[in-house]
Structure 1
Amino acid sequence: MNTVVDSNIKINKVFFRDEKVFFDLEDGREIGAPLKWYPKLLNASEKERLNFSISPSGYGVHWKELDEDLSAYGMLHYNQELNTQSR
């Protein structure tokens, strides 16, 4: 079975709970991911985490202070096991 995923998923709300970041989506879904997947958010203060803006288009979230950007599409397709980062 093939599932079509809309890359234009709009974010209505961003919130944090239980060491996770969540997006409430325009289509009624709520999606979330562990903060440990996003070290800049994990290591940020609560004040820094709450200082974000949802893009005018509604497709992404930006934390200017933290230089971090997330999208609903990216969160839906992100696979921590396949993601590697060189240090």
Structure 2
Amino acid sequence: MNTTTTESESCALRAWAEGRMIFLELADGRIIGFPADRFRILKAASEEELKKVTVEVNGFALRWEELDEDLTVEGVVAGRFQLPLPEVAA
């Protein structure tokens, strides 16, 4: 079992928000993004509140202190979101 590869792939170097999207730069060089609206607390947050994201726990967690919200980087990378994608009108 090789946990080192999984851990380094799910380790964030930095995080930032642009509009309602949250972006992560991972240790392996990838940059991924996800819509804030896929999480209950983040969906209710303003864009200014979203910008206050910090990387915590040696790169394994995202934190919004003002919102008292924490997400694991591993969960985000794996696509484990609380809310479904919004339906698109046909």
After TM superposition, is the score higher than 0.5? yes
**Alignment gaps of 5+ in structure 1:** none
Confirm whether residue 6 of structure 1 aligns to residue 13 of structure 2: no
User: Matched residues in 1 for 2:68 and 2:39: separation?
Assistant: 11
- Which residue identity is paired with 1:68? E
Deviation digits for residues 2-50 of structure 1 (CA, Å, limit 9, x no counterpart): xx86134221121223532111111100111122211322221222212
TM-score using structure 1 length: 0.70
Aligned length, in residue pairs: 79
Cα–Cα, structure 1 residues 52 and 15, in superposed 2: closer, same or farther, change >3 Å?
A: closer
Note the aligned Cα RMSD (angstroms).
2.4
Q: Which has the higher helix share?
A: 2
Question: Counterpart in 1 of 2:88?
Answer: none
Question: Counterpart in 2 of 1:64?
Answer: 65
User: Matched residues in 1 for 2:57 and 2:80: separation?
Assistant: 27
**Alignment gaps of 5+ in structure 2:** 84-90
Cα–Cα, structure 1 residues 24 and 56, in superposed 2: closer, same or farther, change >3 Å?
A: same
User: Matched residues in 2 for 1:79 and 1:70: separation?
Assistant: 10
Say which SS state the counterpart of residue 67 (structure 2) adopts.
coil
2:56 and 2:63 in contact (8 A); partners too = yes
> How many percent identity over aligned positions?
28
